[in-house]
Amino acid sequence: MTWTRSAYRCLQPLLEEARTAVLLTHVHPDADGVGSGVAMQRFLRQKGLDARFFITHELHPGLRFLSPGGEAQVFDSKTMSEFIRNADLIFTLDNSSVERMGPLQDDVRASRATRICIDHHLVREEFWQVNLIHMEASATGEMILDCVDELGGTLDFVMAQAIYTAIWSDTGGFRFPKTSAHLHRQVARLLDLGVKPGVIYQELNERYRPGAIRLMAESLLRLQFSVKGRLAWVSVPRDLMNSCGDGLEDPSNVLNHMLAIDGVEIGLLLREEGDGVTKISLRSKPQHDVNALALVHGGGGHRNAAGAVIQLPLEDCTRRLVAEAEAALAG
CA neighbor of 131 nearest in space, from 142, 145, 144, 120 = 120
Question: Are 134 and 100 in the same domain?
Answer: yes
Predicted pLDDT at 60: 86
Average per-residue pLDDT for the chain: 93
CA neighbor of 190 nearest in space, from 148, 218, 213, 162 = 162
Helix ranges (H only) for 151-303 are 157-170, 181-192, 197-205, 210-220, 238-243, 254-259, 290-296
| Tally of domains in the chain | 2
Give the rounded percent of residues in the chain with a pLDDT score beyond 70: 98
The tens digit of pLDDT for each residue in 70-111 reads 999 999 999 999 999 999 999 999 999 898 898 999 999 999
CATH number for the domain spanning 271: value is: 3.10.310.30
Question: Are 191 and 248 in the same domain?
Answer: no
Predicted pLDDT at 134: 94
| Residue 45, SS3 per DSSP | helix
**Angstrom distance (rounded) from CA 303 to CA 289:** 5
**Angstrom distance (rounded) from CA 228 to CA 242:** 33
**Angstrom distance (rounded) from CA 95 to CA 302:** 12
Question: Are 99 and 45 in the same domain?
Answer: yes
Question: Are 70 and 21 in the same domain?
Answer: yes
Question: Are 113 and 220 in the same domain?
Answer: no
pLDDT band at 248 (very low <50, low <70, confident <90, very high): low
Question: Are 16 and 113 in the same domain?
Answer: yes
Buried b (16+ CB within 10 A) or exposed e, 243-257: ebeeeebbbbbbbeb
Question: Are 187 and 272 in the same domain?
Answer: no
User: With 70 as the cut, is the pLDDT of residue 246 above it?
Assistant: no
Question: Are 285 and 223 in the same domain?
Answer: yes
11, 3 contact by CB (below 8 A):
no
CA neighbor of 95 nearest in space, from 60, 61, 127, 70 = 127
Predicted pLDDT at 247: 56
Last residue of one domain, picked from the residues 187, 204, 221: 204
Question: Are 261 and 199 in the same domain?
Answer: no
Last residue of one domain, picked from the residues 204, 231, 252: 204
Predicted pLDDT at 252: 83
Predicted pLDDT at 70: 94
Question: Are 79 and 198 in the same domain?
Answer: yes
Q: In whole angstroms, how large is the CA radius of gyration of the chain?
A: 20
Last residue of one domain, picked from the residues 204, 220, 245: 204
Q: Are strands 130-133 and 114-119 parallel, antiparallel or unpaired?
A: parallel
Question: Are 105 and 191 in the same domain?
Answer: yes
Domain carrying residue 314 = 210-330
Predicted pLDDT at 4: 87
CB atoms within 10 A of CB 103: 14
**Angstrom distance (rounded) from CA 173 to CA 204:** 11
CATH number for the domain spanning 171: value is: 3.90.1640.10
Q: DSSP labels for 13-45?
A: HHHHH-SEEEEE--SS--HHHHHHHHHHHHHHH
Helix (H) or strand (E) holding 139: none
**Angstrom distance (rounded) from CA 220 to CA 236:** 10
Question: Are 218 and 123 in the same domain?
Answer: no
